Homo-oligomer: A and B are copies of this chain.
């Protein structure tokens, strides 16, 4: 990625002026650290912890983001983008049969992806961004269902719930060296495959799920 063109004469607002090189480096370290910390502790992650992970002073955080909530916003936005990338990669690289399964596996492999989306504090007004990802995911899901590798009664919200569940197990059980949650993941994916009667309970709609995640 190239730097922006050099300023040409006229005054530059703070918005458009490129960051000093060291500041640019720090910014990306902060984003990464915040992503990890929020993924691990949710919104309870402390600014001090984030700063330490980024090997930066707290002051530096506040130079870039007016407050914690705005920092989280930036992280959520980045996670959104990441999910979109994964979804597109899966659509183009993976067979219809394996589509959903592979999507879930790849999302899980990037812990911050779904956890950060859920880290929002209850009073946050901006949505969880599910609305953005749902259509892409829906495409992948329907394709797999048409190919007959996923039960027809599965809904998009079911996949999201699966991701949340695996993530929560990974939070508790996984370590650097061992990932017991992967076994659980496959168990869950098996439940999505055809061969069993549909569950007796109605699925959530995406709007419902979004409301739930935003309201606690």
Residues of A within 8 A of B (CB): 118, 158, 161-162, 164-166, 168-169, 172-173, 179-180, 182-184, 186-193, 195-196, 199-204, 208-209, 212-213, 216
What are 17 A-B residue pairs whose CB atoms fall within 8 Å in the complex? Answer: A158-B184, A161-B173, A164-B169, A165-B168, A165-B169, A168-B168, A172-B212, A172-B213, A172-B216, A180-B204, A183-B203, A183-B204, A186-B199, A186-B200, A188-B188, A188-B191, A190-B190
Main secondary structure of the interface of A (DSSP, over half): helix
Query: Chain copies in the assembly?
Result: 2
A209 to B169, CA, bound (A): 11
Could you tell me if B158 and A164 are in contact, using CB atoms closer than 8 angstroms? no
Chain B CB within 10 Å — which of A187, A191, A196 has the most? A187
Q: How far is the CA of A161 from the CA of B169 in the complex (A)?
A: 7
* A172 proximity list for chain B (CB < 8 A): 118, 164, 212-213, 216
- In the assembled complex, the Cα of A189 lies from the Cα of B196 at a distance in Å of 10
